Amino acid sequence: MPEQISFAFVSTELAKETLASDGRVPSLREWGDRWLQRREREGLRAVRSDRSRWRTHVESWERCDAPLTAISRPDVRRWLSGLLVKQTATPFHRERRPLSMGSVKAVLVLLCCAFEAACEEEIITTNPARGVKIPRSRGASVQEKWTVLKPHEQIRTLACIPSGERPIVAFALGAGLRQGEQWSLEWDDVHAIESEAPRVVVRYGTKRGPTKGGKIREIPLFGLSRIALVAWWKFRGRPVTGLVFPAPRGGRRDGKAPRGWSTWKSAAKLKRRVRWHDLRHSCATSLVAGWWGRRWTLEEVCKLLGHSSITVTERYSHAANELLRRAAKESDESRNGGSNPGPPLYESGALPLSYFGETDGNGPKLAKTKGGKPMNDLCFTNSQGVDVWEHLLKLPLAAGGRK
């Protein structure tokens, strides 16, 4: 009996969503409101952002009050043309400027999904937004869409962050988690942290919400991510439950970078725009390019980052450019019978000279590589064999912590 009542209730709700109260075909505005309500009931991610985009860019369309059956593909193309030249201002950019390509794509996909849902409910027979694409020239750019921190920039950035905040940034760089995944990580999902093979289960992408791909994945901790998380765990008093990276006042952090992020970037003298998400790009590129040791394949990076397919991971193939430059350089060195290892790590200004131990008239006595050559920026060990990451992430124990 309860199952019959539940089924009847769902059927009634779907019927209400399909047609307007007077039996007519709903307008785009009416259908969008019902469709977004349904998505919210289903617990889908980013409904709040979808509502904002719909209200700002779809409900302002002159065809928004037209019945769904009256909207054609030429109508959608004209709407898209207007969206491409539309200018808007934000709290961060008071000056009005065109919408970013990411915003245009997100709104177009949202509209297409709304029409597709109407097709599934048999309100309309065809999706007028299906196949409508943004002109290729609109998305063309001569600038890279993200910033990748080179090895010496990674070290310099971490060195400029207060020690109490450093593991947060170091973990983001070393593990490559999305921001929401890192802020939602809980100690219950951190396993074998004191072993040689610690791992974390990435379960949430928002506050108790799924990850972007909708799948749970388990990733190993290695290198920088392992050192950072172990240091943070000891610094916090070896907790076993709760959020791994809570806000300063407790609770889950919001969808922003830590408050000092802009200050730390300025202190590191980074001359390029670096977003928090660029730490994820830097992680992937470092692995593909072999900056942190063995070169990872695209398949391995795809699994680590939780991409839906390797096609998404192929964006990091630009790391091959670095490999080509290094190969060309090694070829010239071999032909000339010499070697040009580049500026040593201590010249980058990332660490104090005291870190490198003994000095002579020419600077710190640097360790030698296996080939007997001085270290360059791609080496992460000093003359005493101390790992640079280990040095940067030495933190005092929290009150009551154990050694």
Give DSSP secondary structure letters for 65-78.
TSBGGG--HHHHHH
Give the length of the chain: 403
- Name the pTM for this structure: 0.68
pLDDT by residue, tens only, the chain of 403 residues: 444 444 444 444 444 445 555 568 999 999 999 999 998 888 776 788 899 999 999 999 999 999 999 999 999 999 999 999 888 766 555 677 888 888 899 999 999 999 999 999 999 999 999 999 988 766 555 455 678 898 888 988 998 999 889 999 999 999 999 999 999 999 999 999 999 899 999 999 988 888 888 889 999 999 999 999 999 999 999 999 999 999 988 889 988 899 999 999 999 988 888 999 999 999 999 998 888 888 899 999 999 999 988 888 888 876 666 656 765 776 666 555 544 443 444 444 445 444 444 444 444 444 444 444 444 334 455 544 556 777 777 766 554 444 4
CATH class of 2-136: mainly alpha
Tokens of 214: 């909708």
**CATH architecture, range 146-403:** Orthogonal Bundle (1.10)
Q: Which amino acid is at 260?
A: G
Tokens of 170: 């170091």
Tokens of 121: 């409910």
If phi over 0 gives left and psi between -120 and 50 gives alpha, with beta otherwise, what is residue 201?
Answer: beta
- CA max distance for the chain: 90
Tokens of 126: 């065809």
Q: For residues 26 and 66, what is the distance between their CA atoms, to the nearest angstrom?
A: 8
Q: For residues 157 and 166, what is the distance between their CA atoms, to the nearest angstrom?
A: 9
Q: What ranges do the domains of the chain cover?
A: 2-136, 146-403
Report which of 237, 180, 229 is spatially closest to residue 209, judged by C-alpha positions: 180
Report which of 89, 114, 112, 113 is spatially closest to residue 100, judged by C-alpha positions: 89
- Which pairing describes strands 359-360 and 363-364: parallel, antiparallel, or unpaired? antiparallel
Tokens of 25: 């075909």
- Beta-bridge mates of residue 243: 186
* Domains 2-136 and 146-403 agree in fold: no
Q: For residues 340 and 337, what is the distance between their CA atoms, to the nearest angstrom?
A: 10
